[in-house]
């Protein structure tokens, strides 16, 4: 009973912590593509430029309490901000629930934060900042020493197993993959190891393919229109982190009979 209470308290704390961190990521996602400093400077309403106070920026709660509008000009506040904050809470609590209290849990949460920035920035601008790809690579390099069940050379293979074929395709087919996608998958592959790197790309291809098909059928995109692939790669990497090992075990045991 006591252990369950402590576990619930830890998960609640993790959720709140995650919302705070991802609230800051909203600033990063907005400012980084605009080449603005996201470390210093007060947050402002993007419509009226009024400086926001602490009460205006409490994750999720302020958005709800203010009726989804700016306190000062009445401009509508996108639900995306609150959704990203909630995503941070789920990511933090999910990392602890899945991996326990460990260094790898911190690295997994850091990777979730990086993936969130990459996914939303690529969605907005169709570009992935090099700094985020470098952050993924650094996190991947550190993960080599703290990932259980994955040998160091599997991480190194993961660095190239997806990114190199993507590079070859990009050289053969102009526009096949963007440079940001390739660099991102190099860093994420280093973090995951080669098995989960392949799983992440397969998952991204399936989700991205279904999404593209829906857009084409609804005539919102043409067959030759470019759709940013980064958000789907981020989904694939996140899926690989949380369920990749379980999915591969299921595949080997159930489908292959081993």
The DSSP code sequence of 177-205 is: S-HHHHHHHHHHHHHH-HHHHHHHHHHHH
Domain tally, the chain:
2
| Residue 225, Ramachandran bin (φ over 0: left; ψ between -120 and 50: alpha; else beta) | beta
The model's pTM is 0.94
- CA 237, 238, 240, 242: dihedral to nearest 10 degrees? 160
User: Of the residues 78, 101, 124, which one is the last residue of a structural domain?
Assistant: 101
Q: Same domain, yes or no, for 30 and 131?
A: no
Q: Same domain, yes or no, for 127 and 12?
A: no
Q: Same domain, yes or no, for 126 and 69?
A: no
Per-residue pLDDT of the chain (258 residues; tens, 9 = 90+): 778 889 999 999 999 999 999 999 999 999 999 988 888 878 888 889 889 888 889 999 999 999 999 999 989 999 999 999 999 999 999 999 999 999 999 999 999 999 999 999 999 999 999 999 999 999 999 999 999 989 999 999 999 999 999 999 999 988 789 999 999 999 999 999 999 999 999 999 999 999 988 988 887 776 667 889 999 999 999 999 999 998 888 877 776 665
Specify which residues 44 forms β-bridges with. Answer: 51
Neighbours of 36 (CB within 10 A): 11
Identify the three-state secondary structure at position 49. coil
User: Of the residues 101, 128, 147, which one is the last residue of a structural domain?
Assistant: 101
Q: Which domain holds residue 70?
A: 1-101
- Which of 56, 106, 107 minimizes the C-alpha distance to 82? 56
Q: What are phi and psi of 63, to 5 degrees?
A: -60, -40
Q: Same domain, yes or no, for 96 and 155?
A: no
């Amino acid at each position: 009973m006591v252990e369950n209470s402590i576990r619930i308290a830890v998960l609640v704390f993790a959720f709140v912590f995650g919302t705070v961190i991802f609230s800051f990521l909203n600033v990063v996602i907005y400012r980084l593509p605009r080449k603005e400093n996201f470390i210093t400077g007060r947050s402002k309403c993007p419509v009226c430029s009024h400086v926001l106070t602490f009460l205006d920026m409490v994750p999720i709660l302020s958005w709800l309490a203010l009726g989804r509008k700016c306190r000062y000009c009445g401009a509508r506040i996108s639900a995306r901000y609150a959704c990203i904050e909630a995503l941070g809470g789920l990511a933090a609590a999910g990392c602890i629930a899945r991996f326990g209290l460990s260094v790898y849990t911190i690295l997994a949460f850091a990777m979730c934060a990086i993936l969130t920035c990459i996914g939303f920035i690529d969605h907005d601008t169709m570009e992935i900042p090099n700094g985020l790809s470098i952050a993924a690579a650094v996190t991947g390099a550190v993960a080599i020493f703290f990932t259980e069940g994955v040998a160091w050379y599997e991480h190194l293979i993961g660095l190239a197993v997806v990114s190199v074929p993507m590079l070859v395709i990009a050289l053969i087919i102009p526009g096949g993959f963007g440079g940001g996608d390739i660099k991102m998958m190099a860093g994420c592959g280093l973090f995951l190891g080669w098995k989960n790197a392949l799983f992440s790309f397969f998952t991204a291809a399936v989700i991205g393919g279904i999404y593209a098909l829906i857009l084409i059928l609804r005539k919102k995109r043409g067959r030759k229109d470019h759709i940013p692939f980064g958000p789907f790669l981020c989904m694939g990497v996140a899926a690989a982190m949380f369920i990749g090992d379980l999915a591969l075990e299921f595949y080997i045991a159930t489908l292959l009979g081993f």
